[in-house]
Structure 1
Amino acid sequence: MQLHDWWFVVIAVLWTGYFFLEGFDFGVGVLTKTLARDRRERRVLINTIGPVWDGNEVWLLSAGGAMFAAFPDWYATLFSGFYLPLLVILVCLIVRGVAFEYRGKRDDARWQTRWEHAVFWCSLLPAFLWGVAFANIVRGVPIDAHREYAGGLLGLLNPYALLGGVVTLSLFVLHGAVFVGLKTVGEVRLRARRAAYAAGVVAVPAALGFLGWTQAQRGDAGTLITAAVAAVALVAALGCVRAGREGWAFVFSGVVIVASVATLFLALFPDVMPSTLNASWSLTVGNAASSAYTLKVMTWVGVVMVPLVVAYQGWTYWVFRRRIGVRHIPA
């Protein structure tokens, strides 16, 4: 395996970690308006991710930075061609972070309601748009001979990409509802189970259809295995939700996300952005990579820094592992 192949795997792992971790806090953000019945319950949901949501976004920064350094042509073409949806995601992430911090700064119902709306919409939109973006990356986009995006915004809103958005949104809501059930007590916990099952009813046909479509377009034996793992894990997650086993349900919902992202990256390799205009114009791990020296330096930096980040995040989750409920929120 050459260094550019290795860094393709590393980037896939970073994106997988981001979707696994940020996925459930996007889901919790959506549930603040669909699960919580009053302001104290919304505070409970926000508190479940309060200590960890910003740490989860480190994986996005790491994935984006690794793409920029290891595959600059991939990064440039992706961010220029997908400029508007990625800009919407960026603005949502900024506003969402501000909303978490500013919601409780004033004891005013209208002030808090506005920021709660911001949390909801700025969780829902990225959860949907990430699926649209990655589905388009796998499907392929118009890239010309100069490695530049030659399409428009409407071309990104094709049926396959929109289905990908539905899949990520429904899976993240399922993942978030399971996380809420794992982190709370009382009535909120019981309603989280019902919300998880409801999200699963949407996620099952959407995910099976999307994975089957991906397999038909770009699949091989490897993607067939990972897609099958995702399908089995999704059914197992719903079974654990019905049985009230939140811990196992969270494990299986995480496996669904990991296996689904693995399916997309396996379907993509050795391309990083296929061209729908001419296959020879596609960006690959070979023609889009940085120099061997750059990749070598990045490898040594990654070997040192990645374990530190993982260890710190693991410690954070351990410290804030206890369940919370409405009784822990002052009236």
Structure 2
Amino acid sequence: MELTTVWFTLIAVLWIGYFALEGFDFGVGMLLPVLARDEREKRVLINTIGPVWDGNEVWVLVAGGATFAAFPEWYATLFSGFYLPLLLILVGLIVRGLAFEYRHKRDDAAWRRNWDLALIIGSVVPALLWGVAFANILRGVPIEELNGHLEYTGGFFNLLNPYALLGGLMTLTLFLTHGAMYVALKTDGDIRHRARALAVRTGIGAAVIAVAFLLWTQVMTGSVASAVAFVVAALCLVGGIAAAAVGREGWAFLGTFVTIAAGVAGLFLALFPDVMPSSIDAAYSLTTTNAAATSYTLTVMTVVAVVFTPIVLAYQAWSYWVFRKRISVQHIPEETLAGSGSAA
């Protein structure tokens, strides 16, 4: 296998890890005003992701860095053409991180309410815009040759097309359902039962939107491999919803986890060997070949990845194991306590 294909695959794996893990973080943030009925329940929700949310974000940082190093032409075109949506995503992630760190710093209802709003917005914006961005990559964007370089020649409103907006709704509803499944798995008491019931309702809507988007993708640019991945994603989502309906939270969460993983894998399989197709002329499309770095660069990166990736995976798996137990309002004291970013 060529190193360009290896690194395309590794970048796909990084995005799969990011969406499958960070997806439930976004979902929990969006569900804060829906599931929590008082301050203690809000703190329960936030504490379910407090120890892991920042570790989950590492996946997107590594994915961006790997893209920059392995496919510099892809990185340059993507970040110049998608500058505004990616900036909005970055601002959302920053605001969300600040909300985790600062909402507990003052024992004041208005202060916490404002940071709760920041947390909700900082979860909704990336959840929606990641889907819009990836849908546009699959659909193809205006790329043509200018001054000897392949460059994006469209504008912001080129990105707001029906297919991309449907992709945004898909990621938004899937992450919402994934977050509800995670809350049902990680909590106990009334909030657990409310989360499980909500996961079933939102899951049905997410399934309808996801099937419509994945069918559209398959017809537009799919392959046999992507079709298999999409079928796996659809079956796992149905299975996850059914498991939630009968109270099997572990299987339900696994269902949405595999749904997102298989769905993202299918999108990359549908994209390959392009990394950014041109809607003007296929000759102007960026591929794993014409967008790649030098062979020496890819070789060095491969050695580094082989050494450090198992270490990172082992550490993150260990952190999930340490914080594996359920929490409930009984674990939250009445008074507001100052603490670290891993607690609310």
TM-score normalized by the length of structure 2: 0.95
Q: Output aligned runs, 1:1-331, within 5 Å.
A: 1-145=1-145, 146-331=149-334
1:33-68, Cα deviation, whole Å (9 max, x unpaired): 121111111110000000000000010111000000
Shift of 1:229: 0.5
Distance (whole Å) between structure 2 residues aligned to residue 321 and residue 231 of structure 1: 27
1:278-320, Cα deviation, whole Å (9 max, x unpaired): 1000000000000000000000000011111100000000000
State percent identity of aligned pairs.
63
Distance (whole Å) between structure 2 residues aligned to residue 160 and residue 308 of structure 1: 39
Q: Secondary structure at the match of 2:275?
A: strand
Question: Which residue identity is paired with 1:45?
Answer: L
1:223-258, Cα deviation, whole Å (9 max, x unpaired): 111111111111101000101000001111111001
TM-score normalized by the length of structure 1: 0.99
Q: Secondary structure at the match of 1:105?
A: coil
Question: Which residue identity is paired with 2:119?
Answer: V
1:157-209, Cα deviation, whole Å (9 max, x unpaired): 10000000011011101111100000000000000011111211210110000
Distance (whole Å) between structure 2 residues aligned to residue 142 and residue 103 of structure 1: 42
Distance (whole Å) between structure 1 residues aligned to residue 34 and residue 80 of structure 2: 35
Shift of 1:330: 1.1
RMSD over aligned Cα, in angstroms? 0.6
**Where do 4+ consecutive residues of structure 1 move more than 2 Å?**
none
Shift of 1:270: 0.3
Q: Secondary structure at the match of 1:141?
A: coil
How many residue pairs were aligned? 331
Distance (whole Å) between structure 2 residues aligned to residue 226 and residue 71 of structure 1: 25
Shift of 1:9: 0.1
Distance (whole Å) between structure 1 residues aligned to residue 269 and residue 225 of structure 2: 7
Q: Secondary structure at the match of 1:147?
A: strand
Shift of 1:152: 0.7
